[in-house]
Chains A and B, each alone.
Chain A
Amino acid sequence: MVKKFGLKLGGLQQKILNLVLVFLLALMTIFAGVSFYQVTTLDTVVDDASREQQDAIGKVSDDTMHQVIGNSMIKTNALQAYIADDMFSDVKTDVATLQSLATELFEHMDSFEPYPFALPDPAKDGEFSAQVIFEDGVDYTKSEYLGIAAHMSDTMIAMCEQSGYLDNCFIGLADGTHLCVDDQSANKYDENGVLLSFPVRERPWYTSAANAGELWFSGVEADTYTGKIGVECSAPVYKDGELVAVVGADLFLDSMGDYVKAASNQGGYISVINNEGKVIFAAEGNGIFTVETSDNARDMRADENKELAEFISRALTEQTGLTSVNVNGKEYYIAGSPMNTVGWAVISFIEKEITEQPAQIMMSEYDRINDNAAGKFNEAMAYLQQTTLVMIGVLLVLGVVTALFVAGRIVKPIEHMTKRIDEISGTDLAFEMDDSYRTGDEIEVLAQAFSTLSKRTINYIEQITRITAEKERIGAELELATRIQADMLPNIFPPFPERTDFDIYATMTPAKEVGGDFYDFFLIDENHLGMVMADVSGKGVPAALFMMMAKILVNNFAMMGGSPAKVLEQTNAQICKNNDEEMFVTVWFGVLDIKTGRITAANAGHEYPIIKKANGEFEIFKDKHGFVVGGMDGMRYKDYEFTLEKGGTLFLYTDGVPEATNADNELFGTERMLASLNAEPQADPKTLLGNMKRSVDEFVGDAPQFDDLTMLGVKLL
């Protein structure tokens, strides 16, 4: 673990930190995802809501406008048509009154005296007065009708004064004279003060009424004197079926124009169409209708714009609803009402765009508010984002600090523990519980376990030390026992330095510290040498103890002078008395008559002895075998005899020699044993034994030995 910035990279602390960071990142990713989704959804919702609201507002306002405009336009138009019609109706009534008055006068002209009449008096300009004017070449003084017609003068003056809209009224006579009532007396004269002629019978109102034979309305005409646009109403007067005069009145459309202009101020227009489909009146620049004098005026019912033409036709006969028409690429709301008196129609219209202005204003206001709100929303969002970023930052820092702190708290006791454990060595073995380990979690358990382990280890080490000491003591004792055992065996050579008639040598090489083999030799008397070669079953201390007992018993019984068989029987009996361990010992025991070389021996389950004659080779002597000593109570053994020649050698051994095993699991065997002895047959016992030991060692090599190697050699000299 690399340590950096006080943090062990790859350590528990970093892992905890990683965990916290991963957790925080996951949390933040989810948070960010949800936030993003919410913001997107909110945006969409706000957008959608805004659009829906706009649509709804647009539609509602459109509908409302349409309704409001429709209602007001239809009503207003109808009212205006009514008013206009009323006006024309009044004029019509007035003209009809004049007609009937004139008819009455002329029918009874004989009963009336001529009434005075006069030429226009410029001084009376500005007030209504009756004035006589005439056609060129007509002598008005000669007129027989003028005096009669003059009776109407006062009536006509009163009519003009009382009527709010009549500008004048007149009676044109068939003889070319004309009596008119107006307030324009000065205008009847030219700049030179000459009375202007007036072509009575050429005037349209005259000819038209005469031709029609009934009440007639003119188109829009410019007034002869004022130049003002007006409408003339005239009616023929007959006397005895003869046209004698035409009465009429001029209606200047000033008053109606005021309505129209007033309406125009609000973006709407009013127009009047006559029964021939011609535009009587229209505000200037209205976009649809243009006023022309009768001669030039077109029939709007035949307009190229079918929609408009159809509407005009309809408006002349019935009250239309609010209709939408397109003129020159512009949409208009239009409504028409017929004027029943004259058969004309009043048309109101307004550009749709204008009606939509409030809605548009409202919409743009709404947009402004909306944009404002959206701006604020975005600001709030940005602020929220900033806040969130700051929060995330704070959270990260807090998370890292907390993780480091918590991890540090977790790691510190572990580090402390690790340090303490690293320090443990030699005699400083105690790992003791410390307050810093009392974390209440697994660390405490771990520390507790370490503490227990440490105590156990200390105990164990103490125990091991004790056991080792014990073992060492036992080892030492075993070594001592080995020495004692070795000391028990005759091991000083030559043992009988004063004897020159025989040479004896023996060795024992235990496989373990204490072996079970033993040899023994002792002089029973001057001429008798007792020789023992034995092998105790088993190894170690028990075998050694058993061996000692057997050695002493054989020695004792031998010294008491019994034959070898007797000695073995006595030994067997003695051993079998207390042999619960069922140990036994193989024993070869022989007594050599040193003078004669005669050997009396008994074999209790031991290896065959090997004998060499004076000039012969070593050979195995297959003697009679009895059972092992200590194996079975009451065993009998048999003595046998053979002779050792002078210069001959007797070789005794335990099974450790022929049964020595090499690494290939081969036994040394009697053949090799004999070969070793026969390599130097004449050698003294010590050399023979040395050769044998070497041969065995060479054969065995590194293979471990399990059995003792015990040999005895005796040579008669």
Chain B
Amino acid sequence: MDIKKTNHDNSLIVGISGKIDTASAPKFEQELKNSINDCTELIFDFAEVEYISSAGLRVLLSAQKTMNRQGSMKLINVRKNVMGIFEVTGFTNILNIE
């Protein structure tokens, strides 16, 4: 998994590529923790995300909760299979997916 972060004022675009699974989720979580403190708009670009496991979902949930307090969060370019996972797990109910 690779993470690419782009900052625009208080908005942060996080581009992720590869798999967000049990092995890579801790890194994903750490990267987010380090960068979203002053962030009011968090955008995840999921164009390159092949798969997300429950550990990854947990990170997204955690980020969503944080952003609920300080601004907004959305996911863009989500692939079909990943979208399936979101649907199955009910994450489509709480995430803002465009």
- A interface with B by C-beta (< 8 Å): 516, 535-539, 582-584, 586, 604-608, 625-628, 631-632, 655, 659, 667, 706-707
Using known A-B contacts A582-B65, A707-B22, determine if residue A539 contacts B55 with beta carbons closer than 8 Å. Answer: yes
Beyond known contacts A584-B57, A606-B88: 6 more, CB 8 A cutoff: A538-B55, A586-B88, A625-B88, A627-B89, A706-B23, A707-B53
Smallest distance from the beta carbon of B59 to chain A beta carbons, Å? 9
Determine whether the beta carbon of B61 is less than 8 Å from that of A538: no
Determine whether the beta carbon of B90 is less than 8 Å from that of A627: yes
- B interface with A by C-beta (< 8 Å): 21-23, 25, 51, 53-55, 57-58, 61-62, 65, 85, 87-91, 93-94
Using known A-B contacts A582-B65, A584-B61, determine if residue A627 contacts B93 with beta carbons closer than 8 Å. Answer: yes
Smallest distance from the beta carbon of A431 to chain B beta carbons, Å? 41
Once the chains are docked, how many angstroms separate the CA of A606 from the CA of B94?
15
Determine whether the beta carbon of B54 is less than 8 Å from that of A706: no
* Residues from chain B with Cβ under 8 Å of A655 in the complex: 53-54, 85
Smallest distance from the beta carbon of A629 to chain B beta carbons, Å? 10
Smallest distance from the beta carbon of B89 to chain A beta carbons, Å? 4
Determine whether the beta carbon of B90 is less than 8 Å from that of A604: yes
Using known A-B contacts A706-B23, A707-B53, determine if residue A537 contacts B58 with beta carbons closer than 8 Å. Answer: yes
Determine whether the beta carbon of A627 is less than 8 Å from that of B94: yes
Smallest distance from the beta carbon of A553 to chain B beta carbons, Å? 18
* Residues from chain A with Cβ under 8 Å of B51 in the complex: 659, 667
Smallest distance from the beta carbon of A655 to chain B beta carbons, Å? 7
Which of the residues A607, A626, A659 comes within 8 Å of B93, measured between beta carbons? A626
Contacts across chains A and B counted by CB atoms under 8 Å: 68
Smallest distance from the beta carbon of B15 to chain A beta carbons, Å? 20
Determine whether the beta carbon of A584 is less than 8 Å from that of B94: no
* Residues from chain B with Cβ under 8 Å of A536 in the complex: 54
Which of the residues A584, A608, A625 comes within 8 Å of B58, measured between beta carbons? A584
Of all chain A residues, which has the CB nearest B50?
A665
Once the chains are docked, how many angstroms separate the CA of A516 from the CA of B91?
19
Once the chains are docked, how many angstroms separate the CA of A582 from the CA of B64?
11
Smallest distance from the beta carbon of B92 to chain A beta carbons, Å? 8
Determine whether the beta carbon of A605 is less than 8 Å from that of B55: no
Smallest distance from the beta carbon of A708 to chain B beta carbons, Å? 10
* Residues from chain A with Cβ under 8 Å of B93 in the complex: 626-627
Smallest distance from the beta carbon of B17 to chain A beta carbons, Å? 14
Determine whether the beta carbon of B90 is less than 8 Å from that of A625: yes
Smallest distance from the beta carbon of B2 to chain A beta carbons, Å? 15
Once the chains are docked, how many angstroms separate the CA of A604 from the CA of B91?
10
Determine whether the beta carbon of A605 is less than 8 Å from that of B23: no
Smallest distance from the beta carbon of A569 to chain B beta carbons, Å? 13
Using known A-B contacts A632-B94, A659-B51, A706-B21, determine if residue A537 contacts B88 with beta carbons closer than 8 Å. Answer: no
* Residues from chain A with Cβ under 8 Å of B53 in the complex: 655, 659, 706-707
Determine whether the beta carbon of A628 is less than 8 Å from that of B90: yes
Which of the residues A538, A582, A625, A626 comes within 8 Å of B54, measured between beta carbons? A538
Once the chains are docked, how many angstroms separate the CA of A663 from the CA of B91?
29
* Residues from chain A with Cβ under 8 Å of B61 in the complex: 582, 584, 628, 631-632
Determine whether the beta carbon of A538 is less than 8 Å from that of B90: no
Smallest distance from the beta carbon of B96 to chain A beta carbons, Å? 14
Of all chain A residues, which has the CB nearest B89?
A605
Could you list some 11 contacts between A and B, CB below 8 A? A536-B54, A538-B54, A538-B58, A584-B54, A586-B88, A604-B90, A605-B88, A605-B91, A627-B94, A628-B91, A659-B51
* Residues from chain A with Cβ under 8 Å of B58 in the complex: 537-538, 582-584
Determine whether the beta carbon of B23 is less than 8 Å from that of A535: no
Determine whether the beta carbon of A538 is less than 8 Å from that of B89: no
Determine whether the beta carbon of A628 is less than 8 Å from that of B89: yes
Determine whether the beta carbon of B88 is less than 8 Å from that of A535: no
Of all chain B residues, which has the CB nearest A625?
B90
* Residues from chain B with Cβ under 8 Å of A632 in the complex: 61, 94
* Residues from chain B with Cβ under 8 Å of A538 in the complex: 22, 25, 54-55, 58
Once the chains are docked, how many angstroms separate the CA of A537 from the CA of B94?
17
Determine whether the beta carbon of A625 is less than 8 Å from that of B22: no
Smallest distance from the beta carbon of A232 to chain B beta carbons, Å? 155
Smallest distance from the beta carbon of B80 to chain A beta carbons, Å? 13
* Residues from chain B with Cβ under 8 Å of A582 in the complex: 58, 61-62, 65
* Residues from chain A with Cβ under 8 Å of B90 in the complex: 604-605, 625-628, 631
Once the chains are docked, how many angstroms separate the CA of A494 from the CA of B72?
52
* Residues from chain B with Cβ under 8 Å of A535 in the complex: 54
Determine whether the beta carbon of B54 is less than 8 Å from that of A627: no
Of all chain A residues, which has the CB nearest B55?
A538
Once the chains are docked, how many angstroms separate the CA of A605 from the CA of B93?
10
Smallest distance from the beta carbon of A255 to chain B beta carbons, Å? 146
Once the chains are docked, how many angstroms separate the CA of A451 from the CA of B61?
54
Of all chain A residues, which has the CB nearest B58?
A537
Smallest distance from the beta carbon of A106 to chain B beta carbons, Å? 173
* Residues from chain A with Cβ under 8 Å of B23 in the complex: 706
Determine whether the beta carbon of A627 is less than 8 Å from that of B55: no
* Residues from chain A with Cβ under 8 Å of B88 in the complex: 586, 605-608, 625
